Structure 1
């Protein structure tokens, strides 16, 4: 980087650009008054951002090192009377030269998040399901291809608050039919020491049971308090309709909104994780759900779901996890449980990482409303599942899994699902 370019960049960072500042006396013999950068160089020297070479020369055509640039950035950072635009540019340079600044003793740990007030992340995801349901007389096989394009902007409000959103666009590859672009998430988040609050449409994930019951969204408020022992309080409204692949009217899923309140406790010391949760839902449409009342005129309009979970990471490679959940308000299909043994796991940021798992899942339809499992094309099933994932390139993730199970209920039909996924993150 040429020092003349550095001068031009740094000038823009110093409050009172050359056009609005008073030019100091000529500090360098090799920068005459008629030079195009004279005002900028003089002002920077007067502000103490640049010093020259001690022999009255500036040597503006000489290449500089990253450490020399970092020194100038550090001096610009020390200025307090700067505009918001100049401060943003200083933060960007500080993020670029963070390592050199840290070596110079200048702490920039918080600057990176200020460098860009709005950040965009996203994903292009392809998924394939092949489901075969059969009994003694019939066999029904269906295949589904889904393409998802997701954008996730984050905007900084101040030192504690951010605004988040998630935009989803889906395409059915098998029919080439595109769905609407939807605002899937939108929430404000406040981050404080051992305290986080979220307001808006956000994720609803049952951490206590590792996603056995819920991996979807709700609209409302969430408060998380604690460090190793965390308490999560949630209240709002949940759409329990057919807005995910796992929900199906064939199995009498709820098709309307429900008011929602929930609490979770999660404890994660070292290699052990423990969790317990309770979630209450209320909707008149529960009266139309199979398994809530044995009467000819069902009256139940609540779901009271209790869940427990535990996990242990043995050596950084092997992990064992189990969970159980029950809907105390339901008469049938009221319990779910899951046991999973995992080995390693793919990390999209690390090329070549991989993992595999084997699990047994029992998913009652009146308690596992939206389980996290990719093979759960329909709940009210039980069976074994095996899977593996792999990161062939940085920020590229692939996964494959197979579920071999049966329906829970009067007709124990076979229900087998093959699932595949490829995701590109940016």
Structure 2
């Protein structure tokens, strides 16, 4: 055992080298430098020695023996859950029944994480050309309310560089603030949070809402009520500006797994939609299936919308999306990568705030069709690069194209 470790533990218990109890170990004489510290640790029950009554201070300890000492020191309050010894011997402590994660939560109730994304969107085609770079920084604050509930908040800063504003358009917002937890078997999320309906093909943005979800074996049922994209929550359009998208809404999803097959049906009703291609109330039904082949997955979704402004414009109110994915970059695993592709054929009444980075919002009530291809790669731990290419065109009589090359680097911490 190292002299510094023995002395440090004794000091943590509030003992000096001259104030000590009787020493139980035959190989630690009264004149030893470690006499007082070892005696105090033994009296506190932190060190036990060996069956033959010796301490064997010059013997190198195993990791398991050291973990036993750390566990006892934790129980006695000699060290805290955030001590470096605890993190160093976390696996051994777990094997000893010391739940380090719970101790850390009690010691540090609020955690701060974040990510930085540098992205560039380059658009060409019949709807004009544009190029913009955006630096987005997010800070997440997660606090434990109790064993069942957490509070999450997020602050986001955006700086857009579009050639005319080389210094960047600085914009900082308190964008998310919500509680999440369980009431019996019901998982609840309430507050301002980001949501992702129908794989993002219908809506991917913030809402002020309450969501409840229940699982029955491999089946799940979820329902949401709230507001979307109004004065306090908004959607980013593809040219980097903000736009409102709607008001009150209700949404419900029923889904489940059958082996490697996932099935899902969803319904969304949103009031007072206000986008460039649709206004008024909108109702959207979706039915989707996704099959996992191991490293690959294949998905298909049918969408049906009902909106008066689209009908009056003789627009299209239904459509489908086909998706294919192979592997995928994992932030914690350098060298992992993935490829993905989608084909879209969506009428104007079937989407409100799409998850895609293509220029879908330049089209009219007829909607759009076209494809996306892309890939991602983890360059180093917590550093993921991604590239996407879109070629979209109107579902109406026009054959005009909107092509987008999107690239990004995301660093998480």
TM-score range with shorter-chain normalisation? 0.7 to 0.9
Once residues 7 and 362 of structure 1 are traced to their aligned partners in structure 2, the CA distance between those partners, rounded to angstroms, is 71
Alignment of 1:23-62 (within 5 A): 24-27=21-24, 30=28, 38=36, 41-53=38-50, 58=55
CA distance in 2, matches of 1:365, 1:156: 42
Per-residue displacement from partner, 1:82-137 (whole Å, max 9, x unpaired)? 5xx966447x7544323223444656575565564332322121111111231xxx
Q: Does 1:367 align with 2:367?
A: no
Q: SS in structure 2 opposite 1:360?
A: strand
Shift of 1:319: 1.2
- Which residue of structure 1 aligns with residue 199 of structure 2? 210
1:322 alignment partner in structure 2? 300
Deviations 1:340-361 (A, max 9, x none): 1222222222222222223211
Residue of structure 2 equivalent to 1:161: 149
Q: In the alignment, which residue of structure 1 is the partner of 2:333?
A: 350
Alignment match, 1:5: 5
Gaps of 5+ in 1: 293-300
The DSSP-based 3-state class of the residue aligned with 2:93 is helix
**How many residues are aligned here?**
396
| SS of residue paired to 1:124 | strand
CA contact (8 A) 1:336 1:368 kept: no
Q: Please tell me whether the aligned partners of residues 317 and 343 of structure 1 are also in contact (alpha carbons under 8 angstroms).
A: yes
Question: Secondary structure at 2:373's aligned position in 1?
Answer: strand
Equivalent of 1:266 in 237, 255, 258: 255
Within 5 Å, which residues of 2 pair with 1:119-268? 119-134=111-126, 140-174=128-162, 175-191=166-182, 194-206=185-197, 209-226=198-215, 227-239=217-229, 243-246=234-237, 255=244, 258-268=247-257
Q: What SS does structure 2 have at the residue aligned with 1:210?
A: helix
Q: Using a 3 Å threshold, how does the CA distance of structure 1 residues 119 and 10 change in structure 2: closer, same or farther?
A: farther
Q: Which residue of 1 aligns with 2:372?
A: 385
2:268 paired residue number: 279
Residue number in structure 1 paired with 2:323: 340
Q: After superposition, what is the alpha-carbon deviation per residue over 1:324-348, rounded to whole angstroms, capped at 9, x for unaligned?
A: 2233234234334211122222222
Query: Does the CA contact (< 8 Å) of 2:132 and 2:239 recur in 1?
Result: no
Give the distance between the partners of 1:164 and 1:32, measured in 2 at CA: 56
The offset of 1:229, in angstroms, is 1.2
**Does structure 1 conserve the Cα–Cα contact (< 8 Å) formed by 2:81 and 2:104?**
no
| Pairwise CA distance, 1:302 | 2.4
> Does the 8 Å contact 1:95/1:112 carry over to 2?
no
110 and 274 in structure 1: CA distance in 2 versus 1, 3 angstrom threshold: farther
Instruction: Give yes or no for contact 2:317–2:349 (8 Å, CA) kept in 1.
Output: yes
Q: Secondary structure at the match of 1:140?
A: coil
Question: Which runs of 5 or more residues in structure 2 are unaligned?
Answer: none
More strand by share: 2
Q: How far does the alpha carbon of each residue in 1:368-425 deviate from its partner, in whole angstroms, 9 at most, with x for none?
A: 1112122245263211222122222222211112111212445442111111111122
* C-alpha RMSD over aligned residues: 3.5
Alignment of 1:51-130 (within 5 A): 51-53=48-50, 58=55, 64-78=61-75, 88-89=81-82, 93-104=85-96, 110-111=102-103, 113-114=105-106, 116-130=108-122
**Is the Cα–Cα contact under 8 Å of residues 260 and 292 in structure 2 kept in the other structure?**
yes
Name 2:287's counterpart in structure 1.
308
Question: Which TM-score applies when normalising by structure 2?
Answer: 0.82
Q: Is the 8 A contact 2:148 2:182 kept in 1?
A: yes
